[in-house]
Amino acid sequence: MYIFGYLRASTNEQDAQRAKSSLKSFVEEKDHRVASWYWENVSGASLKRPELMRLLDDAAPGDAILIEQVDRLSRLNDEDWITLKALIQEKNLKIISLDLPTSHTALSAHINDEFTNAMLRAINNMMLDMLAAIARKDYQDRRRRQKEGIEKAKNDGKFRGRQADLNKHEQIYKLRVINGLSIADTAKLADVSYRTVIRVAKRYKANEPE
């Protein structure tokens, strides 16, 4: 069994390397190693992920996909999640996620009987579906709060001026508040000052519904 690490690329190189280090240590503690790493640069809410598709092409039946959190794969709408699961099941691949203990049994060599393996697969699939549903709801809730917060701020006249400024404010809000990027990363991506990031994020957060 080959193990392929699947990671989301981050604007914060330290965070990305931390995730890789955690996965590498986890696998080595189980006397396995990661055969190859795949770094994805696109949104986790889209199925258009070239690196994931490349991983699926490279993997052989019985291999495993190693991830840090289930939402790295599952933050999709229902149709896309079903499609992705079908692709994974078609190749008989295992999913091993640090935040899903039932998936760790894929690394246990002592579980050999067919009944136990079937039960563990069933439990793991059920947990994957449940965590996928939670990840989707969390993503949808954050998007809804984002939209409501922006609309409330506009209606309250908190942000006046050119449309370009409003678009910039929305970009800052998405990067800093919704996606949780650091002030430095947000400022760099939005091409604004640290002070602007702090000011805009604070105003939008104050307008988020409870």
Exposed / middle / buried, residue 2 (Cβ in 10 Å: 0-12, 13-18, 19+): middle
Which is higher by pLDDT, 209 or 133? Answer: 133
pLDDT at res. 161: 46
Share of the chain above pLDDT 90, in %: 17
| Cα radius of gyration (the chain) | 20
- The alpha carbon of 169 is separated from its chain's Cα centroid by a whole number of angstroms, namely 24
pLDDT at res. 23: 93
pTM above threshold 0.95: no
pLDDT digits (tens, 9 = 90+) for 15-72: 778 889 999 999 999 999 999 999 887 665 667 788 989 999 999 998 999 998 887 7
Average pLDDT over residues 110-130: 68
Q: Among residues 10, 21, 25, 36, which one is catalytic?
A: 10
21 as an active site residue: the answer is no
- Please say whether the dihedral angle defined by the alpha carbons of residues 201, 42, 128 and 3, taken in this order, is positive or negative: negative
Exposed / middle / buried, residue 54 (Cβ in 10 Å: 0-12, 13-18, 19+): middle
State how far the Cα of 66 lies from the Cα of 47, in Å rounded to an integer: 18
Q: In this model, does residue 105 exceed pLDDT 70?
A: yes
Which is higher by pLDDT, 22 or 132? Answer: 22
Which is higher by pLDDT, 117 or 82? Answer: 82
Structural domains present in the chain: 3-136 (3.40.50.1390), 156-206 (1.10.10)
Query: How much is the mean pLDDT over the chain?
Result: 78
Say which residues have a Cβ less than 8 Å from residue 89's Cβ, sequence separation at least 6: none
Q: In this model, does residue 124 exceed pLDDT 60?
A: yes
